[in-house]
Amino acid sequence: SLESTVEKREQALKTDLSDLTDHVQQLRKDLKALTCQLANLKNNGSEVACCPLHWTEHEGSCYWFSESEKSWPEADKYCRLENSHLVVVNSLEEQELGPTAAR
């Protein structure tokens, strides 16, 4: 029947989407690894924290400062999508890393 054909096609598309999503995630991991290797080569092989583009490294951790204001749940969701988490500030030095201190 037409309904059965549509359901089968829909399931096939969902499977394809899932496979493509997995592939994109693997490509992102590979790109990050290659970017880190390149950064280490540029630093003559010395180990450095490998932060994504436009992130700030501080004592082995990576920080990103948003230009836009978000609610706590929105910011938390965004961070999780970036394989990260909202920062818990543990020191004055860490607090001074913020965007106003960097300007």
Together in a domain, 41 and 58: no
What pLDDT is attached to residue 18?
94
Q: Which string of DSSP letters, residue by residue, matches 37-89?
A: HHHHHHTTT-----PPTT-EEETTEEE---SS---HHHHHHHHHHTT------
Together in a domain, 9 and 40: yes
**Looking at the predicted structure, is the pLDDT value of residue 102 above 50?**
no
Together in a domain, 3 and 35: yes
As a whole number of angstroms, the distance between CA 88 and CA 10 comes to 43
What pLDDT is attached to residue 9?
96
Contacts of 57-65 with C-beta under 8 Å, sequence gap 24+, read 58/94, 58/97, 63/87, 63/97, 65/98, 65/99, 65/102
**Looking at the predicted structure, is the pLDDT value of residue 11 above 70?**
yes
List the structure tokens of 41: 């080569």
Q: Are 40 and 47 in contact (CB under 8 A)?
A: yes
> pLDDT tens, 38-97?
877 877 766 666 777 778 888 878 888 888 888 989 999 988 888 788 888 888 887 787
**Looking at the predicted structure, is the pLDDT value of residue 100 above 70?**
no
**Looking at the predicted structure, is the pLDDT value of residue 103 above 50?**
no
The CATH number given to whatever domain includes residue 64 is: 3.10.100.10
Together in a domain, 30 and 56: no
What pLDDT is attached to residue 17?
95
> pLDDT tens, 15-55?
999 999 999 988 988 888 788 788 778 777 666 667 777 78
